[in-house]
Amino acid sequence: MIHFLALMFFPLCMAYAAASDLLTMRIPNLLSIALIAGFIPFALAAGMDGWTIGLHLACALVVLAGGFALFAAGWIGGGDAKIAAAVAVWFGWSHLLEFLLLSSILGGALTLLIVLWRRWPVPARLNGAEWIARLHEPKQGVPYGIALAAAALHLYPLTPVWLGLLPT
């Protein structure tokens, strides 16, 4: 049972991040903190040593610095930068480039879809939903957390935590 809970922690956090970003255009800081804090005991349970955990944390710091540079340039939101760093701690250096590339591709596709969708009026049956109105507003950003979460979920089965916790 503990293995199941450990394996599901990351996917549930990613689903929450995507839903939160879609509905509110915010990803809670507490979620990023929980992902980083949750990584350490799960990594230890998966058999990672302290040095490897440290390398994963260093990877997250590099992603956080890069994310804040993109945030300062106005290209992504602050929550996106923080959640990307929290995901990076789970992936480490071995799958970081795959995660960043897949996030970029999915984020580009999501952005294109939203920009195209914003060209048409909102269907009448969706008019009452505040999150739809926010999503449709051209001055609003794109909930990039959806792309980050989708990429993370796709690649999660390759991570050392997943592989180390799978029952044999």
128-142 pLDDT per residue, tens: 788 988 888 888 889
Q: What rounded mean pLDDT belongs to the chain? A: 93
Comparing CA positions, the residue from 9, 14, 25 lying closest to residue 139 is 25
Cα–Cα distance, 124 to 119 (Å, whole number): 15
Q: Mean pLDDT over residues 138-150, rounded?
A: 93
Question: Residue 37 phi/psi, 5° resolution?
Answer: -65, -40
In the chain, what is the greatest distance between 2 CA atoms, to the nearest angstrom? 56
What's 73's DSSP letter? Answer: T
19-71 pLDDT per residue, tens: 999 999 999 999 999 999 999 999 999 999 999 999 999 999 999 999 999 99
The rounded radius of gyration (Å) of the Cα atoms in the chain is: 17
Range of the domain at 138: 2-165
Question: Residue 48 phi/psi, 5° resolution?
Answer: -75, 140
Cα–Cα distance, 106 to 113 (Å, whole number): 11
Which residue type, as a one-letter code, is found at position 58?
A
**Number of domains observed in the structure of the chain:** 1
Residues 6+ apart with CB under 8 A from 109: 147
